[in-house]
Amino acid sequence: MTLIEKIIDYMEASKYNIFRKPAEKNIVYIEGKGKDGVLNSDQPNHFNDLRLVFAFNRDGDALIEGSWEATTEPGYYYTDNPMNPNGAARIAFGQYRAWQVGIHGYSDPHEALVQVAPVRVHRDWNRDMVRTGDALDSGLFGINQHHGYNHPVDDIHTASAGCLVGRNRQEHFSFMKLIKSDPRYVANPDFIFTTTIIPGNKL
């Protein structure tokens, strides 16, 4: 079974929305899988997760249109120096309709998907960099989808305080160009995108 088949099977079993009209973009993050689609150890503070976009063609075939190195988790810096006193945010696995095209950041502002609706996060109060046992929180926390400033694969550093982050600048801009070609966004620049976050070991 191919990776896209596994993703679709998982999303269908979870009763998640899958957008099947031609060229509509499905945004997915797979925690603990690299660009090769192989499960890894999901080592903390590494860009070892997968950001991908898939869509269906006019024949109804699902195609992965882009995949990039990413992280769905904060690194050491914001785990040890959380922006929230209850702990750093680690997005809860699931599907959320919560992002619009906008601008992320102040020191290096760039086009990104910015959070506009609530998502659920686990608060890593004990700073162990896993979700197990962590309290859930829901709200608007600035969980954006932006780039990781070209930080090295083995050091997220300050690139994520809980956001969904593509490591490489240029790859992120390719991601943004691709999702902005979605006919729903073309028709309405205020369109709210849906994103699915999947644990790699469930595929």
Extents of the domains making up the chain: 3-202
CA distance 145 to 160: 10
Going by the DSSP 8-state scheme, the letter that residue 7 receives in this structure is: H
Helix (H) or strand (E) holding 121, with range, is strand 119-124
Helix (H) or strand (E) holding 195, with range, is strand 193-199
Query: From first to last of its 203 residues, what are the pLDDT tens digits of the chain?
Result: 999 999 999 999 999 999 999 999 999 999 999 888 889 999 999 999 999 999 999 999 999 999 999 999 999 999 999 999 999 999 999 999 999 999 998 889 999 999 999 999 999 999 999 998 999 999 999 999 999 999 999 999 999 999 999 999 999 999 999 999 999 999 999 999 999 999 999 99
Whole-structure pTM value: 0.97
CA distance 160 to 120: 16
CA distance 65 to 56: 10
CA distance 41 to 78: 21
